[in-house]
Amino acid sequence: MFQAFYPKEYVDSAYVIPYEKWKEKGIRGVIFDIDNTLVPHGAPADERAKALFARLRELGMDTFLLSNNKEERVASFGKAVGSRYLWKSQKPSVQGYERAMREMGTDRNTTLFVGDQLFTDVYGANRTGIPGILVKPINPREEIQIVLKRYPEKLVLWEYERKKRRNGND
């Protein structure tokens, strides 16, 4: 019933994803959400985020920031981590994901998405046909429109986890 919103994986943080293993599977580009995925909402790029992007470059992977936030926010973060970006991307619309792949020179088989929201981030990745990894939000303090989405997200995640257990995919 909720499969359109199911992530490929659900992990604690963008910083624990085994990007080397994804690289071995053919992934050459990673699209990231910013707020509550890489840093708390509105926070500047920190050393951990900068180190992650440097690590991905060392692996030969390209990156792209896809955010529904304003230009100033996304541009400053992109500059700090050395990544291209699209602001006001209108996620879950597929156009932003497709633009990111064009700019990275990747396709649906060589691109990964990482974000903290099911109904924008993961749903958009799924609609585009790329694997979406859902991460737990970094900071529980969020804008009201996001807080309200978290309640139905809990129902979807409960069903997702139940199906995983039933299928033996713990």
Beta strands in the chain (DSSP E): 9-11, 29-32, 62-66, 84-86, 111-115, 132-135
Q: Residue 28: its pLDDT value, please?
A: 98
Whether pTM exceeds 0.95: no
Tokens of residue 103, six digits: 């700019």
Low-confidence ranges of the chain (pLDDT < 50): none
Cβ neighbour number for residue 21 with a 10 Å cutoff: 9
CATH number assigned to the domain comprising residue 103: 3.40.50.1000
Number of domains present in the structure of the chain? 1
Residue-range definition of the domain harbouring residue 111: 3-166
Per-residue model confidence as pLDDT tens digits over 3-46: 889 999 999 999 999 999 999 999 999 999 999 999 999 999 99
